[in-house]
Amino acid sequence: MKAVVLNSHGPIDHLNVSQDYSLDDLKYGEIRVKINYCGLNHLDLWLRRGGTGDKLSLPRIPGSDIVGTIEYVGEGVFNLSIGDTVLIYPGTSCGECDECKKGRETLCREFKIIGYHIDGGYSDYIHVAAKNVVKIEKQNLEAWAGVPVSYVTAWNGLVTKGSLTMFDTVVVWGAAGGLGYAALTISEGFGAKTIGIVGSKEKERFLRERGYKGHIVVRSDNLQKEIRELTNNSGVDIVLDHVGQETWKESLKMLKRGGRLAFCGVTTGHQAVTDLRYILGKQLAIHGSWMGDLNDFKEVVQFIEVNENLPYIWKVYNLEEVRDAHQVMEEQRHVGKIVLKVNEEEQIQ
């Protein structure tokens, strides 16, 4: 089968399309999914570059955000049929340890991200456990490919751990990016007072064009002052920070007493200085989210279906154009999500 296989870490030319990659045999409880679209995430860049400190083994097929059509149903699968369109939860775990039994797969010692620790969606097919997929309608498939990692992470941080309610004021950093936009959508959907922070006027315009009605603050030296003005000097209840080192201090500062920090990314580095008085005096809670659990995934898929608010797809590339897609993502020339088209929907019986 056709797949983009990463044989060694490095720059973009390390992404190569192979025509004869083969899958392991289908196991009990698994299905074979013919992949239609695969969304890109920053994880894909980290995997390619190999510089995160994670133990990553190669060769590897990248790609965590997968939408496809079931082509074969293995033994022990009763709730899915050939031809069903599915969205794949991008994590796997042992299924037997105490954390797995409690539905906290991301805390399992065997937790692995599809397209990062194990083979993913830059590929014609994937074999995946039936319990890992959610059926979706056969429409807007390319937009669904922008959902899994961003939305499950935002949901885990804001809703599951952050206990988001309509009475909260929520700040979202990088609100025009994949994860930021997901968080903004979720927060607005809950009826919370939502403040998106963006880096430019263009990104502010983008959010307005997408129908976002909440507050927007364009990053400047006046950031804290603007947040104070928007909250009657009280600060905010929840901050979703996926930027890391660069924004950590600001995030702690803008939280009100009893505030919660939903922390889910270290894009700008991981060596931040913490003024511990903020945590002590304001009794802050800091929650880390390394993606989200299967139950978060099922909930957020239902939330998107009910709210009919899918992510914005900036551009769809063919699988063969994977290097161009990585180039754009690396240079941050996009707004919204980038998606690879793997197989035409019409070809699937």
Task: Return d(Cα 90, Cα 129) in angstroms, integer.
Answer: 11
Q: Which is nearer to Zn ion, 149 or 294 (CB)?
A: 294
State how far the alpha carbon of 340 is from the alpha carbons of 122, 145, 182, 306, 316, in Å.
Answer: 8, 9, 19, 26, 6
Please list every residue from 152 through 211 that binds Zn ion, using CB under 5 A. Answer: none
Q: Which is nearer to Zn ion, 204 or 293 (CB)?
A: 293
108 binds Zn ion (CB under 5 A): yes
Q: Kindly state the number of chain residues that form the binding site for Zn ion, as judged by CB under 5 A.
A: 5
Please list every residue from 54 through 93 that binds Zn ion, using CB under 5 A. Answer: 93
Q: How far is the CB of 163 from Zn ion (least distance, A)?
A: 25
Name the strand (E) or helix (H) holding 128: strand 125-129
Q: How far is the CB of 95 from Zn ion (least distance, A)?
A: 6
Q: How far is the CB of 301 from Zn ion (least distance, A)?
A: 22
129 binds Zn ion (CB under 5 A): no
* Residue 8 structure tokens: 């060694």
Task: Return d(Cα 200, Cα 41) in angstroms, integer.
Answer: 21
Q: Which is nearer to Zn ion, 107 or 279 (CB)?
A: 107
Q: Which is nearer to Zn ion, 101 or 270 (CB)?
A: 101
Task: Return d(Cα 48, Cα 61) in angstroms, integer.
Answer: 10
38 binds Zn ion (CB under 5 A): no
CA angle (11 as vertex; 6, 16 as ends), nearest 5? 35
Among the residue ranges 49-57, 99-107, 190-198, 295-303, the one whose residues contact Zn ion (CB under 5 A): 99-107
Q: Which is nearer to Zn ion, 93 or 185 (CB)?
A: 93
Q: How far is the CB of 100 from Zn ion (least distance, A)?
A: 3
Q: Which is nearer to Zn ion, 58 or 94 (CB)?
A: 94
Grouping H, G, I as helix, E, B as strand and the rest as coil, residue 212 is coil
Binder to Zn ion among 100, 143, 152, 301 (CB under 5 A)? 100
Crossing angle (nearest 10°) for helices 148-155 and 294-307: 100
Give 87's contacts (C-beta < 8 A, 6+ positions apart): 66, 67, 133, 134, 136, 144, 147, 148, 301
| Chain contacts with Zn ion (rule: CB under 5 A) | 93-94, 97, 100, 108
